[in-house]
Structure 1
Amino acid sequence: MMSVKNFTYNLLFLILLGSCISPPDNFPSVPEVAFKGMEFVSTNSSDSLIVSITFKDAEGDLGLNATDVDPPFNALEFKRDNTGALILYGKRPSEAPQFNPIDWAVNPTVNNIVVRDTVWVEQNQNHNNIFVKFFIKRNGVFSEFRWENPPFYTTFNGRFPRILNNNNTQAVEGTIRYSMLSFGWQSLFRNDTIRIDVQIQDRALNKSNIVSSPEVTLSQISRR
């Protein structure tokens, strides 16, 4: 069984300018990223696929801490019926999906009250700030490998922590190393050619450009 929910983050960044100085003209208000590298690290426990991107941002409002869970950074949106009531699994309408850990939450907290039931939900994309898409090459054509689909029902989207620990506006640039842990990388992709697309989002909900890795196999990027 693949373990795909564990993420680690290593950040290296450089604050370029103080808040009282205008950032360089080439520093964007919308974050800008570029691909830097990717490597695969195999261990006796979970393996790690690490992607590195560089970033620039004029305001420095990048990153989310664990306490950043109020809207618009809440994890879930709760679906309701036409009376405003939560939709429970035992009384789900015909159009509702079967149980899976993306569309249903077990005993969630709603308005500070724990609901002892299984509730129909929608994942809030703004809860995360780094978005990763996987593509696999078959017969010379790339197609997206969607982790959200069965049997995985998960995602490699996640969070990196705040670059600045205050609310000051400062231009920043640096490197984000985003490590995705799993026991099943090699058994799943074997010798396949894959590509990864990465995008980040600032706290004003501005999405960066999308950057793509080269076309690689795991053996080509394995750390020796």
Structure 2
Amino acid sequence: MKINTLLLFTAGLLLTSCFKDPNFPDNPVLKSMNLSYKEIGGLQEDDSLIISLDFQDGDGDLGFDASDESHISSPFNEFAFFSYNTNTQRKTVFALDTLTSASDSDLALVENMITVSDRAIPELDTLPPYDFPYTCNNWQEVNITAGNTVLKEDTVYYQKNPRYNNIYVNFFLENSGGEFEEFFWEYLQKPQCNIAYHGRFPIINEVGRETASEGIITYRIPNKGWESTFGNKRFKVRVTILDRAGNYSNAITSEPVTLDDIKIN
């Protein structure tokens, strides 16, 4: 089976760490965060917000290997899809990479994937409408085939798998009343869907040789629109990471800053 999926943006990342045998917890821990802003100013290159995270991890299972097929397969698949059996009124969640075209039951899951038109079914009428911003997060056009046979070509309901990414970056922008409201990059140019700045950082310890580790994860977010979008407004950044076992770190939030406050040469 194959599927035409959405494009994924991956932010640049640098990583340094040292390896010890202290008694760190298995859940990753973020100790501190530093923000800096590198302004390039040209039309060809992006300016960059740089997030540096001081971390500790007791069992060393942080990061993904981009060349390892198992690191993009379940349970690290990008999307979860849903099938609905009208006879049993049973809703089933599944990942495409777990299915086989030789299985009748798997083929039935694909053929019965929930589509926009299925919202007319009473049991499914609470699904989000096919409107912005749900068109960015919950509805996707698919073309799924097995050999030369088209199994599903429609707009189907999906949810993003939180274990696909291992770093989550949320922004909060100060409003005219001095309060900080969450700012969503993905909704900036309604009704166009933009990227969010969650992503994946590379593996720290070799799989099978995990050991306690600590160091600095440096996550670089390039964008030509930092100045035009944020200007001199104050903003905050909240970051969470997770390991391959699905354990989340603590969430860490920066102090309010402006781009000028953190600009570097």
With normalisation by structure 1, the TM-score equals: 0.84
How many angstroms apart in 1 are the aligned matches of 2:85 and 2:51? 44
Tell me the SS of whatever aligns to 1:126: coil
List aligned pairs for 1:72-151, cutoff 5 A.
72-83=75-86, 84=109, 85-89=112-116, 91-93=117-119, 95-98=127-130, 100-107=135-142, 115-138=152-175, 139-149=177-187, 151=190
Q: Relative to total residues, which structure has the larger helix share, 1 or 2?
A: 2
How many angstroms apart in 2 are the aligned matches of 1:5 and 1:190? 24
Tell me which residue corresponds to 1:159. 200
- State the Cα distance separating 1:168 from its structure 2 match: 2.0
**Moved beyond 4 Å, runs of 4+:** 108-115
Tell me which residue corresponds to 2:103. none
- State the Cα distance separating 1:80 from its structure 2 match: 2.4
The letter of the residue matching 1:5 is: F
Tell me which residue corresponds to 1:168. 209
2:40 equivalent to 1:5: no
On the 8 A contact 2:31/2:56 being kept in 1, the answer is no
2:63 equivalent to 1:69: no
- State the Cα distance separating 1:29 from its structure 2 match: 1.3
2:39 equivalent to 1:42: yes
How many angstroms apart in 2 are the aligned matches of 1:34 and 1:56? 8
How many aligned positions are there? 213
In angstroms, what is the RMSD of aligned CA positions? 2.5
Tell me which residue corresponds to 1:54. 54
Report the more deviating stretch, 47-56 or 151-160.
151-160
On the 8 A contact 1:54/1:176 being kept in 2, the answer is yes
Q: Percent identity?
A: 33
On the 8 A contact 1:75/1:127 being kept in 2, the answer is yes
On the 8 A contact 2:61/2:207 being kept in 1, the answer is no
Tell me the SS of whatever aligns to 1:65: coil
Unaligned runs of 5+ in 2: 1-7, 87-108, 121-126
Report the more deviating stretch, 108-117 or 166-175.
108-117
Unaligned runs of 5+ in 1: 17-22
On the 8 A contact 2:137/2:160 being kept in 1, the answer is yes
2:255 equivalent to 1:214: yes
- Structure whose alpha-carbon radius of gyration is higher: 2
On the 8 A contact 2:57/2:213 being kept in 1, the answer is yes
Report the more deviating stretch, 98-107 or 171-180.
98-107
